[in-house]
A and B are shown apart, each in its own frame.
Chain A
């Protein structure tokens, strides 16, 4: 899909421009998109904008630990969101945590999408035994909640960034596979596919060049929802102590670190990373929600 950018001059209606104009009809969704863009920028430039490098132990002062939001440090930095048990600036910790959480969520989402699409398209096109095998696997997996599968996998695999990404991919691929198979089965009976077959195009070219682009709208919708789900799941697993290792703290681990201080009223150590996590997930869901409404032909009158 070679879509020109929305700011291009002229009034020719392209699918992409129509999508944008329908998307901006919902102010909440636009807000979500803007917030999401800001979050992505923050995560991307975390080392540049953080007041402190939270993982440089030489910069930390134990005398600064557990300070409430707005306190000043020994050497004059203001901790806008307070500090944790090690005297780490929460704001910087959150910036770095966002980076880890987003990277894990987005990367595993994309990987799961690729795997799911490949298997789903194979199932739709190959038919027969292959299809039965793949779809049975999908059914089997979808009948179990994601957290349970992830729990088992991580218990088996152990901890680590690569392992949690693997677990997230295994948990998510089935959603993509099921959806794209359904869409592809419909699309392959369309006239343009028949035309492509009559033109003598090769099978891979028909599948990837013609059918795949037309299957993309539902994939995009599922993709946004799944990435949000992956971020939340990773945070949950890290909170339970079976997710990311302490060397790469995501938002979930930051929240877990604050659990012990919560009962003594030191709320900020858990509270602010949670807010960051919540805003991230909400903005992704808002965007996904509007995309679903825009891309769903059944809601068009």
Chain B
């Protein structure tokens, strides 16, 4: 006789045994304390969306609202024409009640390709950011290494000292370098007092000053991932290397450095990516020969008020930076897989 009922003991009702939050039940329950989340949970429940999905969705919604949406607006503007109006660009589509007219203006991109100023600015930015990232690695690695091998009780203080400059405005710190690097600045005073030079060195308003500025400003971004990596390294590996006849310096190159590659890559990218678009440092410390895309973008946007062209510059810049970011992500995924 088939009553249409489910057999009772044949299987366990999954719906009943799985809490609404799934594996993220505890997060889900904590979030339920917030009214907005409760609304979402209530609506989600109507559409069969579990708490687990909702918890995972939050960062995605965040990215959607504050990254993807602004980016799409920039992308839209990059296909517009500059106008002397408010806003200073043409509309992408027009609807007159019958026809939808879409004007895709590709001129901005064509112009970027034709005018070699932009390509030179992109290449120069990548070069300056790349060299700066390598210089930061050279300075940051010994620093991170010393921190990671310092007595455990000192380490939190040392990390604090690395982070400390962030408490002062970035702009003020870069400004301070003008005082140090200018012809009658502290550095030249010191060098001439030591008798090393008799003519003041011209550092300010050159690429060298830009390198100094970037290395100084972005050092913590290099040191912190390297420190995190070096600190968790198993020191018995170095003992094993020594035990097998390897001198300490060689062990550093054969064991420590290869194992810190994820930290090195992380640090390089964290310095390289923001440095490519850097505007303040080349503007304050760089000279007329310092060509960086951030500066070009600034003058395009604020001096020429050409929003569409500057948007196109931004879109291309993002495209260029996506390559190392994706590479970094894949490295991270690989490292996570290994662990």
Do chains A and B stick together as partners?
no
Interface residues in chain A, defined as those with a beta carbon under 8 Å from any beta carbon in chain B: none
